[in-house]
Every structure is written in C-alpha cells, then in structure tokens.
Structure 1
Amino acid sequence: MLRIALSIAALATLAACGDISQKANPDAADDPALSASAPALPLPDYFDCVRQNKGVLIAGHRGGPAPGYPENTLETLQYGFSQGIRVFEIDVAESRDGVLLLMHDNRLNRTTTGDGYVADTDWATLSGLRMIDNDGQRTDFQPPKLTDVLLWAKQSGAILELDRKPTTSFRNIASAVRAAGAGDNVLMISYSDAEAAEIAAADPALMLTASARGSRDIGRLEALGVDRTRLVAWTGTNSPDYAAWARNLKEGVEPAFGTLGRRGERLDDLYWADGDGSEYRELVDNGLVLLATDEPYRVAAALTSDDLARQTCGR
C-alpha cells in the first residue's frame, strides 16, 4: 500500500499545533515513505479522477477500528492511513462547553472509561478519559478534538466523512472545518434532503453525501442548494443498485454504498462468509466509487482498485 507524505511545511504546522501526527505515530517523522508529495487535487476533482479511472475509495466506518485501536481516535486514523486507507467515517459530537470531539454514542460508558452523557460533560473531563477498543480493552488513547483530527487530515491528505451527532449542528462543524482550512478533506454526511439543504446553507463549498439514485433525485437536491459537483450519491446498505449507480455515473455523480451494519446482518459478514470477498470486486466492476465498510483492511487487501485510485489520483 502506498503511503502519502507530510511536507516539511506540514510538519512545521503540526509542530505548532502540538505535533499531532507524532502523537498518533511517533515513528512517522523517521519513515522515508513519508517524504514530500505533490499537492492534492481539490476534493471534487479528486472524486472525479477516481470515478473516471474506475477506482474505488474504501471508507473505514467509525474510523476503522482494529484490535488495540478504538473507534473514533486519532491514533486509529493514523493506523488506518498507514495501512492504505484514505477515507474515514467519523462521528462528531459536542461537549457541554462547546468543544467538538469524536464520539459516536450519546453516553460515554461503551467506548470510554467514563460514564454519563457526552452533552452533560465538559471538555476538561472528556479529555481525561481513556478509550476502550472493540474487544473491551482499555487503551491509552483519549477522545480527540475535531480540530486536531481536521489538521491531521489536512496535512496527511486523508478524507473525513463527518457524521453529525444530535449534540451539535452542521453550522458548528462547518465553522470548525473552515477554521482549520480543511474543506478539501471533508465530506459531510446527510440523512435526508432537509439535512443536505442544511449543509449546503452552512457552507456550499463543502462536499456531502446525500441519497440519490439518478437525475430526478440529483435535480431535487440542486433545487435545495446542493452543488452537484460536490455531491456523492448515497444508495444505502441493503443491496447494491447497479442501475441507480449507472444513472448517477451518467450524471457525473459518484455513487456510494455501504456494506456495514449490525453484526451478523451486514453485507460485510455475508460477503466474507466464503472467505474470498469476491462480491466487493463485483461492486467496483459495476461502478461503485465510495464503499463504506466495517472491514476496511480486509477489503483493501482483496481489491486493487483502491491502489489504482491512490496511484492515479494521489493522496
């Protein structure tokens, strides 16, 4: 797997911000694979490049947790990046005192050493907690601020799918993205046309995912203020809709699909039941551009189209 480099200027920026990448990966600065690279394409152009070259982007759900690496931590994102993953779906919540952080659940007890509700807890308390991985093991990792994660993405070239939790707003998230200068590293997630319109109103320059299965849906979103050049068409998690993907591709809009979900019911489990994961290749062959999965590392190992996307389009 190729690894994207931090430039000298990026390292200086990170040093000024507390050396974020070093915290996630202390050996990164000494790794010759992390030498300077060409500037990344603007995000809409990058997605166009991946689509036009029949590549695929693999998105790690909740940041791509792995043994010893809990969901929604900066260290987990850095680990996934080192394994060749370039897109990370993460969850954004807000503390009682207005700090945006990564956290999926309303309560703290499942994924941290704390208890109570995120919205009732101030950042001073949250920052002192330790994260628990999917095997129930305590780690030394802490809940990260969204700002730190945005700065890491900006300097590494990673792409973040931001899933807004009820404790915060699209406007607050968009403001944080602008402040970090990370607009070319962010996809906002919407779950309805109304949310897509909210995102477009908060910042029309941001890319977003919204439900769309062809020209009629795309036109409806455009009428709500969504720029089609900044749209990725979400098509669900139940079953692949190849006809809808073809319609979206005809409109120049990248189709997205998820094999993630409840353990035992998700397509990830079904596709790996025979051990070969050939179904993922079929998805790519039918034009899928963005795949959200709970098994990003296995899928990345089974496919070559993600390597093609990085080799041809960068990041």
Structure 2
Amino acid sequence: MLKSKYIIPVLFLLMQAMIFGFRQPAQLHTIHTGNAGEIKDFFKYTPDRLPFVSAHRGGPRKGFPENCIATFENTLSHCPATLEIDPRFTKDGKIVLMHDPNLERTTNGTGRVVDHTLAELKKLRLKDTEGNLTNFTIPTLDEALEWAKGKTILVIDAKDVPIDVRAGKVVEHKAEGSAIIIAYSIEDIQKCYKVSKDIVMEVMAAKPEQIAELDKCGVPWENMIGFVSHDMPQDKNMFSEIHKRGAMCILGSSRNIDRQFMNGKITAAELEAGYLNLVRQGADVIEADLGIESGAALSSLQQAASSKAKYFRK
C-alpha cells in the first residue's frame, strides 16, 4: 500500500495521464540563438548559410489554428522554422496573438478584439484553417515570448501595436535572442533601435531606393534582414545588394506558389520545385503559409556543412 505522502503526487500524475495521455512530447527542430550576439550572427549572410522557413502565422493547418502555441510546436516537430505572429491590443491594454481585428474567422467569439478584455478572450476557443473549433485558446504575446526561448525565433508583425511597444516587450522578456520585429518604415526602424540596439528587424527592401534609405538611416545592417517581396522582384540584383551588406533576404511564397497549390493549380512536386527555385534565385528565408511543406522542401539543403549549423538543433 502506498504511504499517504505519495498518494497526492501519484494521483496528480494519473490525472495528467488521463488528460494528456501516456506519450512523450514531440521532438522539436529548434533554432537556438540564446542572445543578441547569436541572433545577429544567425541572420548575417554568409555564402554557406542554410536556407530555412519562416512559418506565416505560425504554420496553421487542419487541427492547428493560426497564432497558436500548439501550432508553433506542431510546425517545429516537422522542421526548423522561425514563426511570424500577429499582436493586437485587448480592451484592457494587454496584447494577444490575433491576425484579424475581428474574432469571427478564427474563434467562436464575435466583435472586435479591442472591445474585449483579456479575461473575456481567454474564454474563447480557436478555429483551425477549415473553420473547425479546437480546444486551443488565444495566447498572449507575453506567453509566446517566454515559450519561444530556446526553441525558435518569433517574427513579430505590427497590426495595431506600435513598434516601440513591441520592442519594449522584447526587452521586458529579455527575448532579444529569440524574437525579431517587423518594421515597415525608416521612422519605425529608428524608433526600435532607440529602444534597444540589440533587436534585429525585418525591413522592407524591395527596391534600390529602399536600400539607399536603409544605408543612411543610422541603423547598422547587422540589425536588419531584408524582406524583398511576396513575388520575385523585377530587379534580381536586390538579393546580391542585400547580401553585400551582410544581411539575409526573405522572400514570400504565400501569395504565389502556396496559393496555387492550395487551389489545386500545381502538384506537390511542383510546389517543392517552386520553393527550391526561390532559394536558387537568392532567397535565404522563405516566408510560407505552408510551413511544413516548405520545410520539407528545404530539408535537403540543410544537410550541408555550414557555420550556421550550430544554431539548428533537436
């Protein structure tokens, strides 16, 4: 017979097993940049870089909603990836992850996100990409920043949260090594750099004139990676110009080959070939809606010897 002091711990373990099942957590493919120096080195362009995926909205799919921590873990269980996320304010000034200003598409709630308190939003459940209700709830930016440490790099978009507030959250959580911020203007780049010189930013770099503005904005290129476009740029020199400055290039696939595949216009083989072509054209990072599929396509490229290999772990 168990002694009384062991009964409560055993019952607790049994309850956990009943709820979650007797299973080991999924093995994650991680990107491990522990501090600002490492994240800057990780995003520094080198000819031996290992192309990887930035999973748009965290990589949602059937059973896994967008902007959801369970979805982040599902993506990382298949491939290493950075995770693009969307912050929005609540009525009581907290920040949650939600792409749309309204709740209907992605939750069982109604109305605007900003018209609900965090406590009210936490009672809602998230929908997956097919509109099916799941048991997952809306995470806060605070929760995501803490979760990401040692696992991946969050790419924090804007939505209705100003860049100085987003930067402040990164500093508050000491997450300079596990989060970067999207900046859409020179003014925002300068604001973020003023908050912290350690934060890396994803900046808009689709045209030569944008490169020229970035050169003279007062922020070093080690703090920037260039988002080139959602489509192949007319000027292919954009990739080499960004690389010359020591920065990586991001190219989006969500509005082209991802959409074509989801609409049945191209095959899985053509999708894979499309991802590899983006890398051949000069992309270092592919921002994809289909995070797992793009990760699988790039897996063969990640086997090469590289100075970046130390950051990719299981």
Q: Same fold (TM over 0.5)?
A: yes
CA deviations on 1:212-244 (whole Å, 9 max, x unpaired) are: 258764452243332210111111112245321
SS at match of 2:287: strand
Residue of structure 2 equivalent to 1:194? 187
8 Å Cα contact 1:259/1:291 also seen in 2: yes
Q: Please, which runs of 5 or more residues in structure 2 have no aligned partner?
A: 1-15
1:305 to 296, 301, 306: 301
1:242 to 219, 231, 236: 236
What amino acid does structure 1 have at the position aligned with 2:112?
A: Y
CA deviations on 1:66-92 (whole Å, 9 max, x unpaired) are: 110000011111111111132111101
8 Å Cα contact 1:213/1:247 also seen in 2: no
* Superposition deviation, residue 31 in structure 1: 5.3
SS at match of 1:93: strand
Rounded to whole Å, the distance in 2 between the matches of 1:35 and 1:162 is 20
Rounded to whole Å, the distance in 2 between the matches of 1:113 and 1:201 is 39
What amino acid does structure 1 have at the position aligned with 2:213?
A: R
CA deviations on 1:11-67 (whole Å, 9 max, x unpaired) are: xxxxxxxxxxx9xxx68994595799987471110122x643231120111110011
* Superposition deviation, residue 198 in structure 1: 2.9
8 Å Cα contact 1:61/1:89 also seen in 2: yes
% same residue = 27
CA deviations on 1:243-277 (whole Å, 9 max, x unpaired) are: 2101211221211110113xxxx232347714312
2:259 to 260, 269, 287: 269
8 Å Cα contact 2:33/2:150 also seen in 1: no
1:128 to 123, 127, 141: 123
Give matches, 1:209-228, under 5 Å: 209-213=202-206, 217-228=210-221
Give matches, 1:76-155, under 5 Å: 76-155=71-150
What amino acid does structure 2 have at the position aligned with 1:85?
A: P
Rounded to whole Å, the distance in 1 between the matches of 2:197 and 2:224 is 11
What amino acid does structure 2 have at the position aligned with 1:145?
A: T
Rounded to whole Å, the distance in 2 between the matches of 1:42 and 1:82 is 23
Question: Using a 3 Å threshold, how does the CA distance of structure 1 residues 278 and 252 change in structure 2: closer, same or farther?
Answer: same
**Structure 1 residue 45 and structure 2 residue 41: aligned?**
yes
Rounded to whole Å, the distance in 2 between the matches of 1:193 and 1:28 is 51
Rounded to whole Å, the distance in 2 between the matches of 1:170 and 1:289 is 25
8 Å Cα contact 1:200/1:225 also seen in 2: no
**Backbone CA RMSD of aligned residues:** 2.9
**Structure 1 residue 159 and structure 2 residue 149: aligned?**
no
1:292 to 275, 279, 287: 287
Question: Using a 3 Å threshold, how does the CA distance of structure 1 residues 222 and 268 change in structure 2: closer, same or farther?
Answer: same
Q: Please, which runs of 5 or more residues in structure 1 have no aligned partner?
A: 1-21
The list of structure 1 runs, each at least 4 consecutive aligned residues, that deviate by more than 4 angstroms after superposition, is 26-41, 213-216, 306-310
Larger Cα Rg: Structure 1 or Structure 2?
2
* Superposition deviation, residue 201 in structure 1: 2.9
Question: Using a 3 Å threshold, how does the CA distance of structure 1 residues 79 and 32 change in structure 2: closer, same or farther?
Answer: closer
Question: Using a 3 Å threshold, how does the CA distance of structure 1 residues 138 and 37 change in structure 2: closer, same or farther?
Answer: closer
Residue of structure 2 equivalent to 1:254? 248
Rounded to whole Å, the distance in 2 between the matches of 1:74 and 1:118 is 19
1:205 to 189, 198, 207: 198
SS at match of 2:202: strand
CA deviations on 1:90-120 (whole Å, 9 max, x unpaired) are: 1011111111110011111111111111111
Report how many aligned residue pairs link the two structures.
Answer: 284
**Structure 1 residue 68 and structure 2 residue 66: aligned?**
no
What amino acid does structure 2 have at the position aligned with 1:260?
A: S
Question: Using a 3 Å threshold, how does the CA distance of structure 1 residues 36 and 215 change in structure 2: closer, same or farther?
Answer: closer
* Superposition deviation, residue 135 in structure 1: 0.5
Rounded to whole Å, the distance in 2 between the matches of 1:103 and 1:284 is 30
Residue of structure 1 equivalent to 2:3? none
| Greater mean alpha carbon deviation, residues 246-255 or residues 199-208 | 199-208
